Amino acid sequence: MAPTSNYAVVFFDVDSTLVSIEGIDILAAGNPEVARLTEAAMNGTMPLEQVYERRLAAIRPTRADIERLAGLYVESLLPDGERVVHELRVAGADVHLVTAGIEQAILPLASHLALAPRAVHAVALSFDEGGSYRDFDRRSPLTRRGGKELVILDVRARSKGKAAFIGDGITDAEARGAVDLFIGFGGVTIRDRVRELADVYVTDPSLASILPLLVQG
């Protein structure tokens, strides 16, 4: 019998979930203040909306910086990440990426995973003609606390069946009420608060460990 997904839609966070890096910290090139803000947002000690603009204003990434990050995302896929996404899709799941990361850097990763642009939910940046940073999409709910839940509910409104979400941070755990199963992922970084909120928590660095929770047969 062919494998069948238990969930019609499967959502993944990207940074420290599908890949082993935090894109914003790569762009910050070791800036300790940016790293501190990222960790505060992921652990829930500071609301994302207080962090998002401050980090980008400090970094001001260029278009070239984002293109380099896109390559690093593909190189940093976790063990079995590509296989897991492929097997979920073969089993019938509609796979989406939901992240506060930068859309232009996430799209090539999605393409590498054979996911269509419609499956990417991220934050677009704008640049001037010379490729210098101008701003981010301030309308995106993903720059605010609770934004992932809104995105997931919007996708689910257009689909039928159960949904699961896999993520490492508190902004992911906040969306657990929008899905039938929230898998906290500690394969890159263990976050105690996320472990407390998750339906299931995994610490294996290979994403293959989540497949039995999502697929049968």
In angstroms, the CA 167 to CA 18 distance is 9
Q: What is the domain-level CATH number for residue 70?
A: 3.40.50.1000
DSSP, collapsed to helix, strand or coil, labels residue 3 as coil
Q: 97 near 14, Cβ under 8 Å?
A: yes
Per-residue pLDDT, 32: 87
Q: What is the pLDDT of residues 168-211, one digit of tens each?
A: 998 899 999 999 999 999 999 999 999 999 999 999 999 999 99
> Structure pTM?
0.94
Q: 217 near 4, Cβ under 8 Å?
A: yes
Q: Around Cβ 98, how many Cβ atoms within 10 Å?
A: 26
Q: What is the pLDDT of residues 138-178, one digit of tens each?
A: 999 999 989 999 999 999 999 899 999 999 998 899 999 99
Average pLDDT, the chain: 94
Helix (H) or strand (E) holding 127, with range, is strand 125-127
Per-residue pLDDT, 107: 98
Q: 108 near 120, Cβ under 8 Å?
A: no
Catalytic positions: 13, 15
Per-residue pLDDT, 1: 65
Q: 199 near 182, Cβ under 8 Å?
A: yes
Residue 44 has pLDDT above 80, yes or no: no
Number of domains making up the chain: 1
Using pLDDT thresholds of 50, 70 and 90, give the confidence band for residue 45. confident
Domain span holding position 33: 4-216
Q: 11 near 96, Cβ under 8 Å?
A: yes
In angstroms, the CA 145 to CA 87 distance is 31
Q: What is the pLDDT of residues 48-72, one digit of tens each?
A: 888 899 899 989 999 999 999 999 9
